[in-house]
Structure 1
Amino acid sequence: MSIVITGGAGFLGGLVTEALLERGGEEELVSLDLAPSAHTSPRVRSVVGDLADQGVLEEAVGPETTAIIHLAAVLSGGSEDDFDLSMHVNVDGTRALLERARTVSAGADAPLRFVATSSLAVFGGEVPSVVPSSWATQPDSTYGALKAVVELLVNEYSRKGFVDGRVCRLPTISVRPGRPNSAASSFASGIIREPLQGVESVCPVPHDTLMWLSAPRTAVTNLLHALDLPPEDLGSWRVMNIPGLTVSVGEMLETLGRVGGDVARSLVRDEPDARITAIVGSWPGAFEVDDLLERGFVRDESFAQMVQEYVEDHLAAP
């Protein structure tokens, strides 16, 4: 048996791989990405190549595959800058992956479980202060539009019985370690991560901007919970707004000051960016998630706790 993790060499893919290793079991974990996985466990096998390449997919997804966790994507800022690349990876790659899963499922006792990540970027226009689970998508960005396409594809492949899909609209993950990425929301980690390491950072949006946030540990917990859910618990619409916390950018900066002191807070300067503000400002800041919490999904206790987890995981002395 094997579980395929697309984007397995990335930040989130690495955490998902680690969490699956910690759960034990005998499944092979197949990392499908443009680079090999950093994990050295004999249970981890890397397949390096283009997600839309049929030969690469046949090497990664085979009769022994029981589940796919699809994390690979061109993110929001990168999608806005390069429509064609985003279409190739986010839509063409997902469609090719779904077709490969369909082929493998046809010879299996049950369709492959297919967990795909989506984004708050599928929303836009006028939205209520708290978005219900049934609210329609109206993306205001390339990334959001193509993620909305992915949601419909996974749901339709599930309706037809080709895969057993579940789509997780993840909150913005904060605080992420490492370097800034191409996501428009990258600042949501940068305004905490860099100052705590004595490095200047830029806040590109107004302080009253509301963010729907999740810590990395919590995001991984919820992804694996989505993987484990029996199909009868999902209903006909397989898309879920994963629980998060509503936090304003101003509250994030106040927390930075409490954790890192005045010196850390002084390292963040306001530098308005109309492009980032337009993208992030179109995303809702709060969702109705009581139903998902009742079904075993979890949320963080506070943004202060999220920052503390980052300090413990990445800044604490060994």
Structure 2
Amino acid sequence: MRIVVTGGFGFLGGRVAAALLARRALGGEAIDRLVLVDQVVRPESPVWADPLVEVVHGALADRLDEVFADPVDLVIHLAAAVSAACEADFDLGMSANVDTTRALLEAARTQSASGGRVPRLVFSSSVAVYGGDPALPLPATVSESTLPLPRTSYGTQKLICEQLIADCTRRGFVDGRVARLMTVTVRPGKPNAAASGFLSGIVREPLAGVPAICPVRPGLRVALSSPRRAVEGLLRLAEVERGTGPGRLEGALPVNLPALSVTVADMLTTLRRVAGSQVADLVTIAPDPTTESIVGSWPAAVDHTRAAGLGLHPDPDFESIIRAYLDDKPS
């Protein structure tokens, strides 16, 4: 089995790669090659030296001939421009998210048309595809049957890609599976350009003894997932067989990965309980209307019945997310 992970040295990509290498197989098939594609590669990464790993360095759209030089069985497509960056630069978001995904689908279609195996494609979409409209407000809890009405360019781009993948799946070009991710926290390392990045920063920075700004009101409720649960969900969608019955993927609807619904105030209270007041007091509330308008447009509670049928469940509480971060982060 030859597996491609786009954004393979990114936050989730690196974790997906490490999980695949630990397993050495997926869905009962041995992994013969793991191709990691990224514009920024990290030779210091533990996965770099693994004999199964092949590194493709560069923009995905420019390296598809190399990626598909040998037959591809599975693509886990994580490469993307993130929310606030897409809102600030429309052309960046369209190029990195829509145009690149379209090019990837064309490469997969070419493989299928030549008589090769139809590639399986797992696409990391986002809860940002949802949004409230004055004429049609969001329900208290969204499900896969809730009409997506994105209120950001990022959410719109993700929804466009979802629809392209669904149509290519219907036509037999790919076997597409769409995972709608919640905000994944706590992310280690430096902040990125995601509007939701503060949801990691208000934990990560204080735990490192660094002040952090919370740009939303504490009462804002958000839908979260730990990195462990996000990776678990992506790999489950990668391996599950289609069909009816327990533990199988029915239909072509996206899957909302499970979410923990919590307020920012609850997050800060939990941080105080786990790490103490000296740490929690490093967080300053300084509302920013732009950030809150983006993050506040996303649903805070998600029906994950479809994911539960695949054996996926949310994190039990925010304390478990903090403790998982403390366990996983480098010493």
The answer (yes or no) to whether the contact 1:195–1:267 under 8 Å persists in 2 is yes
The answer (yes or no) to whether the contact 2:236–2:310 under 8 Å persists in 1 is no
Q: Distance between the aligned counterparts of 2:125 and 2:31, measured in 1?
A: 28
Letter in 2 for 1:246: S
The answer (yes or no) to whether the contact 1:164–1:231 under 8 Å persists in 2 is no
- Residue-pair matches, total: 314
Which of these residues, 85, 88, 95, is aligned with residue 81 of structure 1? 88
Match of 2:320 in 1: 305
Report the secondary structure of 1:52's partner residue.
Answer: helix
Q: Distance between the aligned counterparts of 1:104 and 1:242, measured in 2?
A: 29
Letter in 1 for 2:311: G
Q: Distance between the aligned counterparts of 1:182 and 1:98, measured in 2?
A: 26
1:140-289 equivalent positions in 2, closer than 5 A? 140-232=151-243, 233-289=248-304
Letter in 2 for 1:71: L
Question: 1:43 and 2:83 equivalent?
Answer: no
The answer (yes or no) to whether the contact 2:179–2:257 under 8 Å persists in 1 is yes
The answer (yes or no) to whether the contact 1:172–1:212 under 8 Å persists in 2 is yes
**Residues 31-40 or 149-158, more deviating:** 31-40
Measured at CA, do residues 26 and 287 of structure 1 come closer, stay the same or move farther in structure 2, by a change above 3 Å? closer
**Residues 35-44 or 218-227, more deviating:** 35-44
Report the secondary structure of 2:329's partner residue.
Answer: helix
**Residues 70-79 or 33-42, more deviating:** 33-42
Q: CA deviation at 1:187?
A: 0.5
Deviations 1:224-281 (A, max 9, x none): 0000111223333231111111011010000110111000111000111111000000
Letter in 2 for 1:31: L
The answer (yes or no) to whether the contact 1:52–1:88 under 8 Å persists in 2 is no
Letter in 1 for 2:260: L
Q: Distance between the aligned counterparts of 1:76 and 1:7, measured in 2?
A: 16
The answer (yes or no) to whether the contact 1:159–1:236 under 8 Å persists in 2 is no
Q: Distance between the aligned counterparts of 2:41 and 2:328, measured in 1?
A: 23
Identity of aligned residues (%): 45
Match of 2:27 in 1: none
Q: Distance between the aligned counterparts of 2:160 and 2:306, measured in 1?
A: 25
Which of these residues, 45, 48, 52, is aligned with residue 61 of structure 2? 52
Q: CA deviation at 1:292?
A: 1.8
Measured at CA, do residues 108 and 252 of structure 1 come closer, stay the same or move farther in structure 2, by a change above 3 Å? farther
Match of 2:31 in 1: 26
Q: CA deviation at 1:211?
A: 1.1
Which structure has more helix as a fraction of its residues? 1
Query: What TM-score, normalized by structure 1, do the two folds share?
Result: 0.96
Letter in 2 for 1:307: I
Question: 1:138 and 2:143 equivalent?
Answer: no
The two structures, once aligned, show a CA RMSD in angstroms of 1.3
Question: 1:123 and 2:127 equivalent?
Answer: no
Q: Distance between the aligned counterparts of 1:108 and 1:70, measured in 2?
A: 23
Q: Distance between the aligned counterparts of 1:71 and 1:127, measured in 2?
A: 27
Deviations 1:175-214 (A, max 9, x none): 1111110100000100001001100000001111111111
Q: CA deviation at 1:26?
A: 3.5
The answer (yes or no) to whether the contact 1:165–1:238 under 8 Å persists in 2 is no
The answer (yes or no) to whether the contact 1:123–1:138 under 8 Å persists in 2 is yes
Q: Distance between the aligned counterparts of 2:250 and 2:284, measured in 1?
A: 46
Q: Distance between the aligned counterparts of 1:109 and 1:148, measured in 2?
A: 28
Match of 1:293 in 2: 308
Measured at CA, do residues 108 and 209 of structure 1 come closer, stay the same or move farther in structure 2, by a change above 3 Å? farther
Q: Distance between the aligned counterparts of 1:62 and 1:296, measured in 2?
A: 35
The answer (yes or no) to whether the contact 1:80–1:142 under 8 Å persists in 2 is yes
